[in-house]
Amino acid sequence: MKGRNILDTNRLKALISFDVMDTNPEAIYDEITTLAASICNTPTSLISFVDDKRQFFKSRHGLDSKGTPIEDSFCKHVIIDDTNLLVVENTLVDKRFKNNKLVTGKPNIGFYAGASLTTEDGHRLGTLCVIDYESRQLSKTQLDGLQTLAKQVVHLLELRKAKKIEQDQKIELEKKGRLLDNIVSATGIGFWERNFANDTFTINQQGIDILGIDPNTVKNFTTEDWFKLINPADVAEVEKKMLQCLQYPSKECSVQYRFLQKDGEYKWIHEKGKVLKWNEAKEPLVMYGT
């Protein structure tokens, strides 16, 4: 029975995924309902989303109501009838609507045309509809325009959803970054990152403190700069270990050497590193160390 599509779990999950129910009005959706009303020459136009209990008007042109119970919904019939376009030219003679309280009472709907808001995977979320309070007809051009605008609504929803996912991922990455910083801070470990594409070193604050170097020194730090601060007697051993580490597949390298601090003294450093990113030619891209 098609009417059960209203309760279809996948359809409802698709609707929930857009996180649009009960959201505030947005100008871009209001512009679409205004344009739809203008194209169809109707006093009212709505962007309506239908869940299992009600319909919510994301945008409403010419109507104050924010939604209606599911039993009063016109838009649910687009889902029930599984159609891309529902046109009711005279509600008083249509058996589905003639006893609807929105027809028999205020606002006394006389005409309805709704274009399905259908996702790429075929879920009908609701409609972009136009309403008049007397019976009438729309031209093919007007109906085509209504359906074109409905597709734009879905496109906007997809963009809105993608942007929210991107923002959520960014927030999650920031949280993980702060957590990692806290863990690193608690352990007292310094770490560095070597980028082979631009030959730069990045060192965290604890690494700078451990090495005892001027923070300004590492702003544009290169491999050559790094080796200049290693005790000349230790350079050969560090180079040997580094070359071993740069062979694919990478094994962790461990080396001890003396490093020149800003006070002119050398300090023994125990360093471990490993290449974690390679290109398709098995050449190292990024190396991390502690």
The domain that holds 59 is classified in CATH as 3.30.450.40
- Both 246 and 208 in one domain: the answer is yes
Strands (E), the chain: 44-50, 54-61, 67-69, 85-88, 111-118, 124-132, 192-195, 200-203, 253-260, 266-278, 284-289
In the prediction, which pLDDT does 176 show? Answer: 62
Residue 145 lies in a domain: yes
pLDDT tens-digit series, residues 167-205: 777 777 676 656 656 655 665 677 777 787 887 777 777
More confident call, 72 vs 276: 72
Q: Which of 166, 196, 231 is the last residue of a domain?
A: 166
- Both 20 and 137 in one domain: the answer is yes
SS3 268: strand
Range of the domain at 157: 2-166
Phi, psi of 136 (to 5 degrees): -170, 180
pLDDT tens-digit series, residues 78-125: 999 999 999 999 989 988 888 888 988 889 999 999 999 999 989 999
Q: How far is CA 233 from CA 223, 228, 257, 276, in A?
A: 17, 12, 9, 29
- Separation CA 290–CA 277 (nearest Å): 16
- Both 162 and 199 in one domain: the answer is no
CATH number of the domain encompassing residue 242: 3.30.450.20
Work out the mean pLDDT of the chain and round it to a whole number: 84
Residue 179 lies in a domain: no
- Separation CA 205–CA 214 (nearest Å): 11
Which residue in 192, 220, 222, 190 sits closest to 287, CA to CA?
Answer: 192
Q: Which of 166, 197, 232 is the last residue of a domain?
A: 166
User: What is the pTM for the complete model shown?
Assistant: 0.61
Per the structure, the count of domains in the chain is 2
- Both 94 and 233 in one domain: the answer is no
pLDDT tens-digit series, residues 142-172: 999 999 999 999 999 998 888 888 777 777 7
pLDDT tens-digit series, residues 279-290: 888 888 877 777
